[in-house]
């Protein structure tokens, strides 16, 4: 059999002892890859790893030039490297004492067409939000939104729609406790989001997550607040409580009239040309595969670098999927204090998961593993490439308002809906979402750009994908893809619709992460 040569097999770093198959390899295939020559011992599925040399037992397995775990047995050259012979092995540092932040990128000047808000932030969309303080008002919120169908919305051509942000909590929690603080922060973040041109809050009336708490701790000032606040009337929020209004039906009717007024108000706002420094992107990966870390995620990282060069902000989260790669971000941190905050979060997650009898290596998922990923460290090393190459400026708590230009980390779980909810609550006005297995995700009020890691996925789920990073395997450079994807991001920020928007997704993806007991 003739030797199999690249591009069907990729060695990501000269020190690696595994390569990535970008096409299915049959057993007995002779391979020549640089200085490595071997014969495959079994079928190697595309996206999976093959050993390019013998790897003794308990030896680090290297990918990206980094250890992704240790061999659990001696691995012969040409063997399939996966869960049967590779286990995670990663030690988190205890103390960050020094960092080496990279030089600032060359400034880049670009613009987009956005909605300028009274607080100076800029939206990429113009929605009216109906938000619940508690799960008890969730159905009422959705019934209000149902009254504004596409035909009726033609009356307000400058508004992208009406959406509901509902959730499963808001009560049965300690007043002012961590769980309460987290849900209130997320609700307030959506209410005050730059993509929201009008908002209405609906509660039951006896919940813990009261509008008074939102006003006192998050500046969400009710419309009926006494004069003396510095906010104008259009910055105050109309609030309805079902018990006070007289029940659900009456509340829905009154909410409908209020939403009409909010739509009239939002419709007066027009897109204007603004500097791209107003972009705040959230970078996410979901349904990852063996290609994600070598195509889609690095391409997103290239976009992140361009946004930062414009003076904008890039938020990477999914703390559980930074474990194993956190040292790379720590090295790039603005200061040891920033790096230490990230390390402390990683250690908190280790303890938190262990309390429930789990391990961080329970992630990757079954689907991730079928796509070629084996350990959480391997997944994280690919995921962290979404952050690009710029300095890590700050680390934020979940759903906290982000006000730092540049690259930042936000604490969150790896579960996509919760992770994206946190970034949007923090102010992200655009999401770049990579997927290798296929994810059909949207998130009103923020447009989600879906990026396929491989060309087969892009073609198979064409209605759900916006961009194809699989072209990197065919010869396009990551920087070329970064340029193309950045231009697409600017067009989306200016109003071009994404696949998830055309499909009408995003009405049920407000999934705030909360920590604490249900009382």
Out of 58, 87, 116, a domain closes at: 87
| Residues 253 and 307 reside in one and the same domain | no
Q: Please report, for residues 9, 340, 456, 476, 485, the alpha-carbon distance to residue 473 in angstroms, rounded to integers and kept in the order given.
A: 10, 36, 12, 7, 16
| Residues 454 and 308 reside in one and the same domain | yes
Q: Which two tokens stand for residue 186?
A: 């997320």
Cβ–Cβ under 8 Å, residues 79 and 42: yes
| Residues 345 and 421 reside in one and the same domain | yes
Q: CB burial class (10 A; 0-12, 13-18, 19+) of residue 108?
A: middle
Q: How many domains does the chain have?
A: 3
Please report where in the chains the tokens 């020190």 appear, as a residue: 15
Would you call 44 helix, strand, or coil by DSSP? strand
* CATH classification of the domain holding 61: 2.30.130.110
Please report where in the chains the tokens 């060309």 appear, as a residue: 455
Say which residues have a Cβ less than 8 Å from residue 72's Cβ, sequence separation at least 6.
57, 58, 84, 85, 86, 87
Return the pLDDT at 364.
80
* CATH classification of the domain holding 145: 3.40.1400
State the chain's mean pLDDT as an integer. 94
| Residues 49 and 173 reside in one and the same domain | no
| Residues 255 and 286 reside in one and the same domain | no
The 10 Å CB-count burial string (b at 16+, else e) for 351-361 is eebeeeeeebb
Q: How far apart are CA 147 and CA 255, in angstroms?
A: 10
Beta bridge partners of 410: 396
| Residues 353 and 498 reside in one and the same domain | yes
Residue 119 located in a structural domain: no
Helices (H), 268-319: 296-309
By DSSP bridging, strand 60-63 and strand 196-203 are unpaired
Beta bridge partners of 87: 70
Q: How far apart are CA 292 and CA 284, in angstroms?
A: 11
Please tell me the pTM assigned to this model. Answer: 0.94
Domain limits for position 458:
275-502
Q: Is the pLDDT of residue 378 over 90?
A: yes
Q: Mind listing the pLDDT tens digit for each residue in 400-451? A: 999 999 999 999 999 999 999 999 999 999 999 999 999 999 999 999 999 9
Residue 432 main-chain phi, psi, to 5 deg: -110, 120
| Residues 239 and 303 reside in one and the same domain | no
| Residues 288 and 332 reside in one and the same domain | yes
Sign, CA torsion 326/331/334/335: positive
Residue 374 located in a structural domain: yes
Q: Is the preceding peptide bond at 7 cis, omega within 30 degrees of 0?
A: yes
Select from 429, 437, 412 the least CA-distant residue to 493.
Answer: 429
| Residues 374 and 495 reside in one and the same domain | yes
Return the pLDDT at 2.
41
Residue 1 located in a structural domain: no
pLDDT-above-90 percentage for the chain: 88
Question: How does residue 211 score in pLDDT terms, banded at 50, 70 and 90?
Answer: confident
Residue 113 located in a structural domain: no
| Residues 384 and 450 reside in one and the same domain | yes
Q: Mind listing the pLDDT tens digit for each residue in 280-315? A: 999 999 999 889 999 999 999 999 999 999 999 999
Q: Mind listing the pLDDT tens digit for each residue in 123-161? A: 999 999 999 999 999 999 999 999 999 999 999 999 999
Our CA dihedral for 170, 174, 177, 181, rounded to 10 degrees, sits at 10
| Residues 216 and 287 reside in one and the same domain | no
Q: How far apart are CA 27 and CA 372, in angstroms?
A: 17
Residue 103 located in a structural domain: no
| Residues 350 and 305 reside in one and the same domain | yes
Q: How far apart are CA 62 and CA 486, in angstroms?
A: 31
Out of 267, 289, 316, a domain closes at: 267
Residue 512 located in a structural domain: no
Cβ–Cβ under 8 Å, residues 154 and 225: no
Residue 511 located in a structural domain: no
Residue 327 located in a structural domain: yes
């Amino acid at each position: 059999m003739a030797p199999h040569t690249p591009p069907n097999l990729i060695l990501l770093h000269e020190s690696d002892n595994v390569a990535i198959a970008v096409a299915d390899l049959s057993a007995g295939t002779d391979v020549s890859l640089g200085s490595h020559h071997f014969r495959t011992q079994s079928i190697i599925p595309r996206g999976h790893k093959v050993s390019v040399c013998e790897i003794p037992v308990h030896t680090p397995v290297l990918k990206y030039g980094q250890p992704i775990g240790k061999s659990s047995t001696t691995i012969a050259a040409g063997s399939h490297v996966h869960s049967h012979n590779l286990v995670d092995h990663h030690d988190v540092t205890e103390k960050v004492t020094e960092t080496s932040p990279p030089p600032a990128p060359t400034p880049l000047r670009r613009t987009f067409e956005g909605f300028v808000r009274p607080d100076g932030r800029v939206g990429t969309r113009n929605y009216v939000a109906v938000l619940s303080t508690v799960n008890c008002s969730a159905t009422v919120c959705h019934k209000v939104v149902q009254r504004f169908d596409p035909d009726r919305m033609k009356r307000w051509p400058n508004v992208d729609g009406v959406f509901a942000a509902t959730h499963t909590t808001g009560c049965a929690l300690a007043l002012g406790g961590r769980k309460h603080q987290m849900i209130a922060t997320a609700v307030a973040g959506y209410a005050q989001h730059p993509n929201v041109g009008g908002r209405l809050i609906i509660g039951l009336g006896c919940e813990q997550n009261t509008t008074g708490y939102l006003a006192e701790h998050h500046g969400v000032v009710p419309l009926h607040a006494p004069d003396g606040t510095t906010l104008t009337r259009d910055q105050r929020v109309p609030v309805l409580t079902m018990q006070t209004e007289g029940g659900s039906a009456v509340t829905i009717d009154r909410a409908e009239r209020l939403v009409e007024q909010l739509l009239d108000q939002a419709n007066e706002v027009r897109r204007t040309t603004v500097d791209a420094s107003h972009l705040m992107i959230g970078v996410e990966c979901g349904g990852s595969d063996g290609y994600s870390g070598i195509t889609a995620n690095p391409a997103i990282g290239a976009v992140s670098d361009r946004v930062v060069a414009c003076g904008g902000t890039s938020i990477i989260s999914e703390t559980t999927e930074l474990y194993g790669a956190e040292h790379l971000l720590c090295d790039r941190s603005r200061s040891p204090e920033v790096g230490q905050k990230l390390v402390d979060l990683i250690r908190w997650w280790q303890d938190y998961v262990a309390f429930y009898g789990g391990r961080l290596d329970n992630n990757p998922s079954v689907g991730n593993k079928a796509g070629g990923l084996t350990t959480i460290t391997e997944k994280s090393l690919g995921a962290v490439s979404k952050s690009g190459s710029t300095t890590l400026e700050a680390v934020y708590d979940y759903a906290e308002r982000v006000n730092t230009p540049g690259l930042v980390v936000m604490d969150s779980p790896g579960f996509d809906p919760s992770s994206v909810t946190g970034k949007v609550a923090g102010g992200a006005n655009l999401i770049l979402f990579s997927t290798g297995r296929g994810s059909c995700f949207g998130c009103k009020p923020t447009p989600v750009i879906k990026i396929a890691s491989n060309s087969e996925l892009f073609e198979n789920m064409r209605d759900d994908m916006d961009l194809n990073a699989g072209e990197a395997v065919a010869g396009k450079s990551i920087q070329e893809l970064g340029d193309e994807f950045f231009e697409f991001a600017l067009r989306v920020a200016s109003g071009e619709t994404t696949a998830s928007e055309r499909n009408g997704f995003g009405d049920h993806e407000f999934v705030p992460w909360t920590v604490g007991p249900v009382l």
